Amino acid sequence: MAKTLVVNQEKCIACRRCELACAFKKVGEFNPAAARLSVAVFLEDDVYLPIVCQHCDEPFCMEICPAGAIYRDVQTQAVKINSDRCIGCRMCIMACPFGGVDYSVSEQQVVKCDLCDGEPECVLFCPTQALEYKEPTELGLAKRKKVARRMKELMREVG
């Protein structure tokens, strides 16, 4: 079974090192706005949640892409974007229920987590193991679904 990025919301302390590590890996600068994930901070509820592509089994972003620019990497099982094929329509952004796809103004292209080709930088720099890259277990999958439902509720509240 392929490894997946697992978010342990209860362990996140909103240090945002994941954002910095990701941005440095992808664009060579410590700019959280350039990261392929972001940490949603809800201070009033004491909830911090890394939001990142879930690399869904049946990704809506891939299904809706009119250019066929989104594909699954056979080796890592990551859902990736072929920037040479992407036409910038941003339909994938609208289709993703988890906010895992974004448009980078500075890069002028759609961007998302690609699991760093099987060695996610965000995981390496997470001090609390809120982000882990591992084979999903039944318990882990159940937890991911629970977190995804919670994230969906929070995203509806945010707008």
Residue 79: name the closest of 69, 91, 89 by CA: 69
CA distance linking residue 154 with residue 74, whole number of Å: 32
Instruction: Return the SS3 of 109.
Output: strand
Provide the CB-side half-sphere exposure for 43 (13 A, CA): 0
CA distance linking residue 62 with residue 7, whole number of Å: 22
User: In which band, very low, low, confident or very high, does the pLDDT at 145 lie, cut at 50, 70 and 90?
Assistant: confident
Taking residues 33-37, what's their average pLDDT?
96
Residue 22: name the closest of 106, 123, 130, 127 by CA: 123
Higher-confidence position of 40 and 140:
40
User: In which band, very low, low, confident or very high, does the pLDDT at 131 lie, cut at 50, 70 and 90?
Assistant: very high
- pTM > 0.85: yes or no: no
- Given this model, what pLDDT does residue 139 score? 61
Count of helices and strands (H, E) across the chain: 5, 8
Taking residues 64-84, what's their average pLDDT?
96
Residues 6+ apart with CB under 8 A from 126: 17, 18
- Given this model, what pLDDT does residue 146 score? 79
The H or E element spanning position 60 is helix 60-64
User: In which band, very low, low, confident or very high, does the pLDDT at 13 lie, cut at 50, 70 and 90?
Assistant: very high
The H or E element spanning position 138 is helix 138-158
Taking residues 124-147, what's their average pLDDT?
83
> 């869904």: which residue's tokens?
56
Taking residues 16-43, what's their average pLDDT?
96
- Given this model, what pLDDT does residue 126 score? 97
- The amino acid present at 32, given as its one-letter code, is P
User: In which band, very low, low, confident or very high, does the pLDDT at 25 lie, cut at 50, 70 and 90?
Assistant: very high
The H or E element spanning position 79 is strand 79-81
